[in-house]
Amino acid sequence: MNNIHLNHIPVLTKEVIKSLNIKKNGTYIDCTFGFGGHSKKILEHLNDRGTLYAIDKDPYSINIAKKICDNRFHIIPGNFSKILKNFQRNNTKKIDGILLDLGMSSMQLNNPNRGFSFLLNGPLDMRMNPKVGIKASEWLMKSDVKSITKVLYEFGEERFAKKIAIKIVQQNKIKPITTTIELSNLIKKIVPKNKKHPATRTFQAIRIHINQELNELREVLKYALKILTYKGRLSVISFHSLEDRIVKKFILKNSKPPFIPTGIGINEIQLSNLKQITLKIIDKVIPTKIEINTNPRARSAILRISEKKNINEQ
């Protein structure tokens, strides 16, 4: 475990700090602590009255976070959607900025025991929290062709989803697929070689399904909007089109006034509520060529920045 995360470089660090428009005495939440690169930079911009909450459900990340000896910093284990829901329910203090970095950390990808990598051989697990839920291998074993095809197509946009699903089910009847390399080799026989590794989309899809990542994202955005203060910033880094689509749609939905057809019976209070625009679009940022050359995992990153508006501000 000691050398697994040494090469981790957080993506778009300068841009993230700028996007959060940090107040020195503000309160911030890093919903995806990971190896702590962004959290440590946020702390550098806070004074003694500032506060940073970090969230992660990965036990390895939590152990790293616990080593940060700083009274301004608090690590909270668990799913970020549930924790932000609890913030809304139990905290009167509003949040000045929320960060979501939806990418996998190199600590996760480079540890073969986690089962995320199609290049390193290890148990086919893929759980962000190895103590919760079922392993990817167990899910594949108990699923039929229709279920696997649906996941691979919807969450991986894999054109060969059905062929892969059929082969997985056939193979599991002969000898269960229990390792990453076994699954990777099976896929390589079906998916033609391209710029991406043939197993990229399938591994992404299974990981998203096992960890319910897209449902989590939809939930956390909803609660993030509720706990942000006026002019509080929401900064989200996504790494594939499925995530970015959800983030973009959420921001657009909450930054445009609703269409109200003429002739609809509606009172002034209802009309006022309908007209409330709760987000202002600030920017969309992608990595520079220099960053991509230094940190190749940044190549697909998109940072979307929005700001909470006053309910009466249009």
pLDDT in tens, 34-56: 999 999 999 999 999 999 999 99
Q: What pLDDT is attached to residue 259?
A: 57
Q: What is the pLDDT of residue 176?
A: 98
Tell me which residues of the chain have a pLDDT lower than 70: 1-8, 92, 258-277, 311-314
Q: In what order do the strands lie in the sheet with 279-285?
A: 73-77, 51-56, 27-30, 95-101, 228-238, 302-308, 279-285
Nearest to 203 by CA among 175, 170, 181, 173: 181
Q: Where are the beta strands (DSSP E) in the chain?
A: 27-30, 51-56, 73-77, 95-101, 228-238, 279-285, 302-308
Binding residues: 36-38, 56, 80, 101, 108
- What three-state secondary structure class fits 161? helix
pTM: 0.89
pLDDT at 3: 46
CA distance 204 to 15: 26
CATH topology of domain 13-107+213-308: Rossmann fold (3.40.50)
Going from N- to C-terminal start, the domains of the chain cover 13-107+213-308, 131-211
Amino acid identity of residue 69, one-letter, is C
The pair phi, psi for residue 144, each rounded to 5°, is -95, 175
Residues of each annotated binding site for S-adenosyl-L-methionine: 36-38, 56, 80, 101, 108
Architecture of domain 131-211: Orthogonal Bundle (1.10)
- Percent of the chain as helix, strand, coil, to the nearest 5: 45, 15, 40
Asked if 9 and 37 count as a contact pair (C-beta separation under 8 A), the reply is yes
Strands 95-101 and 279-285: unpaired
Give the span between the Cα atoms of 150 and 153, in whole angstroms: 5
* 272, 246 Cβ separation under 8 angstroms: no
Residue 180 is inside which H or E element, if any? Answer: helix 180-188
Side chain identity at residue 134, one-letter code: I
